[in-house]
């Protein structure tokens, strides 16, 4: 009995030892549950493709509206800057028109007197013309007058790239045209200055300085309206000339003709018209008075 009991205990111990040596059972993977869960996530209520498209659309509209707002803000700022530049340019153009009117008036008078001198010398020898007439009309061959535009604002806008603020095509074209005409006139004035110096040198060989000064003072004292009575009185004096040499007179006349005073008048008059047009365009575009 005791032996059977021992045998039974021994068997139970071996079985127990066998169970302990075996690894614990692993849980079976629940693939079907996971797949089902993922499937439910993908097709969760309210999360269809329309929902994602709607979210994308809202985000796109938010970014787009922000871009539009920034663009409008920049446009507003640039328009205000353009208005400031326009007001400054109008002031300078107004000064230009004043200068150009005076220029046109003076150079027209000078050109007419030069034409009279050319007619006199074309029909007569120098010694056949009263010296008073030669002094008065000959004086204008060396008429000194130049135009310098008041273009500080325009030059500032050109150098800084601010001309882009003038978005109106007509305004931009008028500004460009005025700038071009100013540069052409400047070139003309620079070339004329060389001739002007030569004219004055040749004039000094013909006319005595003190009588030139006397004739010039008559004009300077009556710049608004010529005092024809004083002019006639001076002409009748018939001041003496330094020479009646026809060759010297001919050289003088050719130099005077080369100045093309009538072309200077035409250029200034054209510039004056464009200045007025540009003022009108700027006032209209930016509501400036």
What SS3 state is found at 144? coil
The pLDDT assigned to 58 comes to 73
Question: In terms of Cα–Cα distance, which of 74, 94, 76 is closest to 86?
Answer: 94
- Tens digit of pLDDT per residue, the chain (289 long)? 555 555 554 545 554 554 555 555 555 555 444 444 444 444 445 567 676 666 777 777 777 777 666 666 666 667 789 999 999 999 999 999 999 999 999 999 999 999 999 999 999 999 999 999 999 999 999 998 899 999 999 999 999 999 999 999 999 999 999 999 999 999 999 999 999 999 999 999 999 999 999 988 888 876 667 788 889 999 999 999 999 999 999 999 999 999 999 999 999 999 999 999 999 999 999 999 7
Continuous H helices in the chain: 2-21, 31-42, 49-123, 131-139, 152-160, 169-203, 209-220, 228-237, 246-258, 261-286
Predicted pLDDT of residue 41: 46
For the chain, the residue count is 289
- Provide the pLDDT for residue 22: 53
CA–chain centroid gap for 125, Å, is: 53
Task: Provide the pLDDT for residue 79.
Answer: 74
* Residue 108: CB atoms within 10 Å: 16
The whole-number pLDDT of residue 35 equals 47
Structure tokens at 14: 């071996």
**What confidence score (pLDDT) does residue 17 get?**
55
Interval 36-87: pLDDT, tens: 444 444 444 556 767 666 677 777 777 777 766 666 666 666 778 999 999 9
Give dist(CA 3, CA 7) in Å, integer.
Answer: 6
C-alpha distance from residue 207 to each of 119, 150, 239, 247, 256 (Å): 19, 36, 9, 15, 15
Nearest partner of 138 among 242, 225, 36, judged by Cα = 242
Give the SS3 label for residue 43.
Answer: coil
């Amino acid at each position: 009995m005791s032996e059977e009991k021992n045998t039974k205990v021994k068997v139970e111990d071996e079985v127990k030892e066998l169970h302990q040596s075996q690894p614990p059972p692993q849980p079976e993977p629940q693939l079907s549950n996971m797949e089902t869960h993922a499937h439910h996530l993908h097709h969760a209520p309210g999360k269809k493709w329309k929902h994602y498209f709607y979210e994308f659309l809202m985000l796109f509209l938010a970014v787009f509206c922000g871009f539009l707002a920034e663009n409008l803000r920049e446009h507003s700022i640039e328009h205000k800057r353009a208005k400031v530049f326009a007001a400054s340019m109008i002031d300078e153009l107004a000064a230009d028109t004043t200068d150009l009117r005076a220029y046109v008036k003076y150079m027209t008078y000078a050109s007419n007197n030069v034409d009279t001198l050319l007619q006199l010398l074309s029909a007569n020898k120098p010694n056949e013309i009263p010296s008073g007439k030669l002094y008065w009309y000959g004086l204008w061959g060396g008429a000194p007058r130049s135009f310098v535009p008041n273009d500080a604002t325009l030059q500032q806008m050109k150098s800084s790239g601010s001309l882009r603020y003038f978005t109106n095509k007509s305004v931009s074209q008028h500004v460009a045209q005025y700038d071009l005409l100013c540069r052409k006139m400047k070139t003309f004035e620079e070339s004329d200055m060389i001739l002007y110096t030569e004219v004055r040198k040749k004039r000094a060989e013909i006319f005595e300085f003190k009588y030139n000064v006397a004739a010039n003072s008559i004009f300077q004292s009556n710049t608004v309206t010529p005092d024809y009575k004083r002019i006639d009185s001076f002409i009748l004096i018939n001041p003496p000339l330094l020479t009646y040499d026809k060759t010297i007179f001919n050289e003088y006349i050719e130099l005077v003709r080369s100045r093309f005073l009538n072309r200077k008048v035409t250029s200034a008059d054209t510039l004056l018209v464009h200045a007025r047009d540009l003022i009108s365009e700027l006032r209209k575009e930016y509501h400036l008075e």
